[in-house]
Chains A and B, each alone.
Chain A
Amino acid sequence: MIGQLIVEGLAIGACYGLFAIAFVIIYKTSDVINFAQGEMAMVSTFVAYHILTFYQYPFWLSFILTMVFAVLLGIVVEFAFLRPAKEPSVLGLIVITLGAEMFLMGLAGWKWGAEQKAFHFPMSFQVTHEPIKGVIINDWAIGVFVTTAILMVVLYLFFKYTRLGVAMKATQQNKNAAKIMGIRVERVFSFAWGLSSLLGAVAAMFFAARATLDPNFMMEPFLRAFAAAVLGGLMSIPGVVIGGGLFGLIENFFGYMWPEWKPIVAFLVIIIVLCIRPSGLFAKHYVKKV
């Protein structure tokens, strides 16, 4: 029983971690918490659903088309909504991303309606394996583990060793200095939003396969992924993934003990972590500049 809880907790936690990477990338580059992240991913998943159901393309082709769409969506949102704002305050940025969230949610509701839809995903819950006696693992969980692990390593290396990755870090630390050093800050932002939207879309497809697809389905995962990100530290990609796993475990065990209070775990974790260690478990301490 315990083993089963651990495996399931880690699987959903990896999914939270994957989604959390998406807004960590934006936060790392431009200091914006993207409240529209969930809805950007939701719209991308709906596009995948649309291609799969109406055009009946095979999954791999719809997946590629959706990824292209997700990248474009991220770039467009950044270009149309965030770039025109001249030196916005923190509240201003939050309101802009919330506005983008409302906009995208309305758009999806207008196009696809509010009823719940089933999303057909090749890695299903039905195909199960039993590597150790008593611990059942399904294809979906294996898919999540593999995807998250690969993406985490690739992104970690990307931020550490490539020119563009270093440029993104430099942009976050000081936008003007980065500009003087010859970094095209606008392009860095576009790239960050595109990449983040893509990762979010991948995570949202896993979430949609787990639950059903409707315009609100990413709201709860968003808050939980944020709790995972806070737990791991908002600035570090491996930290966020480990935080995701930890949070998945906490939530699953808590849900096993007190099933009816499961939805408030995310809130409790956010509050407790932010009060005790605001920088998260795996990030350097955050010092406020006066």
Chain B
Amino acid sequence: MDMKREYYEDIELFSSGVVLFWSAAFLVFLFTLPLWSESYYIYLLNLIMVHVILAVGLNILVGYTGQISLGHAGFFAIGAYATVFLMSYFHIPFLIALPVAGLIAAFFGFLLGLPALRLEGPYLAIATLGFGLAIMHIIGRWDIFGGRMGLHAPALDLGIPQAGFSIILDSDIKMYYLILVTTILMVVGAINLMKTRIGRAFVAIRDSDIAAEVMGVNLTIYKTLAFAVSAFYAGVAGGLFGFVLGFFDPFTFNLILSIIFLVMVVVGGLGSILGPIMGATLITYLQYDFLKNISEAPYIGDLLVAFSRKWLTVVGLENLGSIILGLIMITIIIFEPLGMFGIWIRIKKYWKAWPF
């Protein structure tokens, strides 16, 4: 579609002035949003951005490197617990604790990447699924992590409390700016990573790992690296997620969460940066807002409650979310395997060629 004439055009962050303009406009919009938006939506946006970080990271593994992971809730949990643990037991400032927690998650990602060298397809899916469940059980067993009772996140302090210098982020709006900046950094980092030698090695592994190895890509290094990078993103996202929620227990990070993460990437579109962002936004919105309050939705809400009362149970209506997500997963694979990104590309092509 776009003609690239030289290498430097290919590695530019913004492929054209139009993209640059709209990206800048969107950023200005995001930065001024809290001025006129309701507080509840800021909370929702925080959740969305946390999931965007995670989905972009998971996409590096699933979409670009072609490895399947059903254990990202495990890395997410490691990030959340490690951040809180470092802050409350070792009194490490948040700005250091968050990347360190990401690195801890990355280390676990590296460890999981080692058996992944010998596994592929469904076997890898099961192994990572087992990893996620194992992490959930291990954290639940340790009293130091609050066990099954869960853990309260401490006050989010951007400064260094020991030095008497503290900036406490106590509202959703203040947290919003922190998460926004982190998300932008992580997303730009992912875009740039994919344009380097490492990113191209990942894509080569996805297309054919044997061919990649023949071309000189060291599979051991790059596959474990993909797991580590992806786990780093999940760890950072998890660290922020803990503060957005304020309270979490091991069962927050169950298998369903891992599946939902995979759905975000698949629904958004594999192998792109924009796709997971759209997918994470849509799925998080559906899950935390629309489907959660579906019984109060106009028109269909009353209908669903009446239907549940007659045939099923009203208490079980919250399970409708799971049904809808399941159907979304199936229909997207059947009708639009490229996800929302594929739809976006088709719209773009259509208008480029319009009126033909």
Contact = CB atoms under 8 A, between A and B. Distances in A.
Contacts of A113: 313, 315-316
B118 A278 contact: yes
A99 B330 CA distance: 6
Contact of B259 (A102, A109, A266): A102
Interface residues of A, number: 53
A101 B313 contact: no
Contacts of A95: 262-263, 266, 329-330, 332-333
Interface string A101-113: 1111111111111
A274 B115 contact: yes
Interface centre among B141, B270, B325, B337 (most CB of A within 10 A): B337
Given A98-B262, A278-B118, A92 B325 contact: no
A267 B130 contact: yes
Interface in A248-268: 260-261, 263-264, 266-268
Nearest to A264: B134
A274 to B, nearest CB: 5
B127 A270 contact: yes
B45 interface: no
Contact of B329 (A102, A220, A264, A290): A102
Given A110-B316, A113-B315, A223 B133 contact: yes
Contact of B327 (A103, A110, A264, A271): A103
Nearest to B315: A113
Interface centre among B62, B318, B320, B329 (most CB of A within 10 A): B329
A85 B333 CA distance: 7
Nearest to A88: B333
> Chain B's interface: helix, strand, loop or mixed, by majority?
helix
A235 B117 CA distance: 22
Nearest to A81: B330
Interface residues of B, number: 52
B262 A111 contact: no
Contacts of A264: 133-134, 137-138
A152 B118 CA distance: 30
A33 B313 contact: no
Interface string A204-232: 00000000000100011001001100100
Contacts of B326: 98-106
Interface string B304-330: 000010001101111111111111111
A154 interface: no
B255 interface: yes
Contact of B308 (A110, A270, A278): A110
A110 B329 contact: no
A131 interface: no
B133 A263 contact: yes
Nearest to B260: A102
Interface in A58-117: 81, 84-86, 88-92, 94-96, 98-114
B249 to A, nearest CB: 16
Interface of B: 62, 68, 70, 115, 118-123, 125-127, 129-131, 133-134, 137-138, 141, 210, 255-256, 259, 262-263, 266, 270, 308, 312-313, 315-330, 332-334, 337
Given A94-B68, A275-B115, 12 more contacts: A95-B262, A102-B256, A105-B322, A107-B323, A112-B313, A113-B313, A223-B126, A263-B137, A267-B133, A268-B134, A271-B115, A278-B123
27 contacts: A85-B333, A88-B333, A88-B337, A94-B122, A95-B329, A99-B328, A99-B333, A101-B326, A102-B259, A106-B320, A106-B322, A106-B324, A110-B308, A110-B316, A113-B315, A113-B316, A114-B319, A223-B130, A227-B130, A230-B123, A260-B141, A264-B138, A271-B127, A271-B130, A274-B123, A274-B127, A288-B120
Can you list the 5 inter-chain pairs with the closest CB atoms, starting with the nearest? Answer: A99-B329, A106-B322, A103-B326, A102-B326, A267-B130
